Structure 1
Amino acid sequence: MARLQTGLNVMQFVLPYSGLQWSDLPFMLEGAWRTIMLTIMAGSLGTLLGVIVGWLRETFVSFRIGLIPFIDVIRSVPLIIQFILVNSFQSILGLQFDPFWIGVVTLSIYMAVLTSELVRAGLQSVRPELSRAGRSLGMSYWQGFLHIRAPLAIRTALPGWIGALIALTKDTALVSVIGYIELLRAAQVLINRSNEALLILAGVGLFYFVICYPVSLYARRLERRLAI
């Protein structure tokens, strides 16, 4: 009996460093899928909200002034602290949201703030003479906005938005601080068990490259197409 107990103790000591196995692949793929879902959800919601907020800030002085403190705070406070604060705030209120949705909300707000600044700068880059020319041709405000201001603003804002989206993809790794297991957190779990840090982190870096590089290539091609 004593020998069996000793054997169990040895197994408990050895198992944490049992090396990588094929059964670890689904765990990593699940983390990768969660990273992709976070990026898609937060990128879509944040962009939609950011376009609306950017248009409101550029159009109405009250929104331009009223939203400045909120935007400055979101841009200045590190994102990892925002995750912790949002998670703590919902706990204080007695809410029990899934860490995935806490991550989506926090990343969406952050993406919305960045997008709103890009949209506002893009709209302001359009010369007022072009809008007045559209009105003189009988266009309504929305017709001039959709056919003149928006296309020109997109050319200005697109490079910055692509950069923000790529940064958002990498920032999803910070959601692990509130207990959500995405790709990087899954990699950390496997590193602690297998002690194969170099191999695992190389795979994680390759995944982020495979996700971000095609987006960057497509953005360059789209920029050239819009510049024609």
Structure 2
Amino acid sequence: MDWSVIWSNRELYVSGLWATVLLSLAAIATGTLLGLVVAAVRTSRIPLLAQLARAYLEVFRGTPLLIQMLFIYFGAAYLGLVGITVFGAALLALTLYQGAYIAEIFRAGIEAVPRGQWEAARVLGLPRLQTFLSVVLPQTRAIVLPPLVGQYLSLIKDTSIAVVIGYVELVRQGQAVIDRVGDPATSYIAVAVLYFVICYPLSLLVRHMERKAVTA
């Protein structure tokens, strides 16, 4: 293995790393927002909306992310959705896919809050929405944070699938280095190390939060 390959192509690796981080952060934001909304709908008392949310979860948790990403990007033209970018397609696919898993994390957290909290807020005359935002959600945050960060780790690694629709992220740049100079072992080791650099701090954070929850 020629380690000089990494240094001489550092601009490609840095560019790929930045593209991966950008897509990850965007998908974390949109996936979390979608997951929270779907979880709120799932725990609502509106049967039709709850069933629609459940159907969404079944579809996106029951099909591979790869297929969803290909369908969104290449199927957009058949649906008349012209002009969708590679980044937009990758972000939409990750948001819908990860949002389904994040929704279940939030739902479990919401349902873990004692029912008496809802009843106490009702006695005080708080509207249901205000009760959810001011009473239930703050308590849910402490419950869902460790599994939520763990799901973010999965999301970051799932960004590599975007290579199939041409998004130039870390894996794609690693392949570009291979096309340029060969030596796939060195290039893929560099890609793996960069993913590790992104994910390892989050892994430590999850472990810290889990230990803190046990000792609390």
1:184 and 2:171 aligned: yes
Note the alpha carbon deviations across 1:41-86, whole angstroms, 9 max, x for none. Answer: 1110111121112111111322211222221111111111111111
CA distance in 1, matches of 2:165, 2:188: 21
For 1:141-156, list aligned pairs within 5 A: 141-156=128-143
Contact 1:46 1:108 in 2 (8 A): yes
Q: 1:218 Cα deviation (Å)?
A: 2.7
Query: 1:88 maps to which residue?
Result: 74
Following TM superposition, the consecutive aligned residue runs of length 4 or more in structure 1 with deviations greater than 3 angstroms are 134-144, 219-223, 225-228
CA distance in 1, matches of 2:49, 2:145: 23
1:130 and 2:117 aligned: yes
Query: 2:49 maps to which residue?
Result: 63
Query: 1:78 maps to which residue?
Result: 64
Q: Percent of aligned pairs with the same residue? A: 31
CA distance in 2, matches of 1:107, 1:212: 17
1:117 and 2:104 aligned: yes
Query: 2:154 maps to which residue?
Result: 167
CA distance in 1, matches of 2:54, 2:34: 16
Query: 1:196 maps to which residue?
Result: 183
Query: 1:27 maps to which residue?
Result: 12
CA distance in 1, matches of 2:26, 2:129: 28
Note the alpha carbon deviations across 1:77-122, whole angstroms, 9 max, x for none. Answer: 1111111111122122261322111111111111221111111121
Q: 1:174 Cα deviation (Å)?
A: 0.5
1:103 and 2:61 aligned: no
Question: Aligned letter for 1:27?
Answer: L
Q: 1:140 Cα deviation (Å)?
A: 4.6
1:53 and 2:38 aligned: yes
CA distance in 1, matches of 2:215, 2:43: 24
Contact 2:42 2:54 in 1 (8 A): no
Q: 1:137 Cα deviation (Å)?
A: 4.7
CA distance in 1, matches of 2:87, 2:158: 14
Question: Aligned letter for 2:40?
Answer: W
Q: Secondary structure at the match of 2:82?
A: coil
CA distance in 2, matches of 1:185, 1:104: 16
Question: Which structure 2 segments of 5+ residues have no match?
Answer: none
TM-score by length of 2: 0.86
CA distance in 2, matches of 1:22, 1:133: 61
User: Per the alignment, do residues 104 and 211 of structure 1 end up closer, same or farther by CA in structure 2, a change over 3 Å counting?
Assistant: same
Question: How many positions carry a matched residue from both structures?
Answer: 210
Contact 1:155 1:227 in 2 (8 A): no
CA distance in 1, matches of 2:133, 2:215: 17
CA distance in 2, matches of 1:137, 1:67: 30
Moved more, 52-61 or 141-150: 141-150
Moved more, 135-144 or 101-110: 135-144
Question: Which structure 1 segments of 5+ residues have no match?
Answer: 1-18
TM-score by length of 1: 0.82
